Amino acid sequence: MAEVKRITTPLTKEMSRSLKAGDSVLITGTIYSARDAAHKAMTEALDRGEKLPMDFTNQIVYYLGPTPAKPGQAIGAAGPTTAGRMDKYTPQMLEQGLTGMIGKGYRSAAVVEAMKKNSTVFMVAIGGAGALIAKTIKAYEVIAYPELGPEALAKLTVEDFPAIVAIDTDGNNFYEEGQKPFCKL
């Protein structure tokens, strides 16, 4: 069984390059969440020549739309959103220094090329495990676009957040490589 790699944020490009497709990771520190609407707002701001509400250098964004927190909890269910929904915004976001993304599902060829160019990894969280993932999130704070509700840009403090590297900085894709032993030739 492969060793679990522990990551403490920020995720530097050197750390990002050390992760390989198929690696299991536990992330501790600060990550950010944003979904479709926040990504759209940020890329439109960049297109207008405006600054983003935060510096994405060496940061990880989790494609998340949380449910409301119950009393005493930092967040409600916190399962991943399909990453492909952010693909049209991703190359521009990677140019802002983003080194890690977490979601679920496949990424486009254009995104994989942008990942290779910018030394960025794509990690997946387990869909359907939002209640369990929420237990690793110790704090949740909206930092921009509060009008977007659960799609706002938010800061999360995480401890041992579980993920698997799906696509590494060389473009190796665990979705493809992991299936090979089970495919008939």
> Which residues belong to the active site?
39
* 3-state secondary structure labels for all residues of the chain: CCCEEEEECCCCHHHHHHCCCCCEEEEEEEEEECCHHHHHHHHHHHHCCCCCCCCCCCCEEECECCCCCCCCCCCCCCCECEHHHHCCCHHHHHCCCCCEEEEECCCCHHHHHHHHHHCCEEEECCCCCHHHHHCCEEEEEEEECHHHHHHCEEEEEEEEEEEEEEECCCCCEHHHHCCHHHCCC
CA–centroid distance for 119 within its chain: 14
φ, ψ for residue 54, nearest 5 deg: -155, 165
What CA–CA distance (Å, rounded) separates 137 from 159?
7
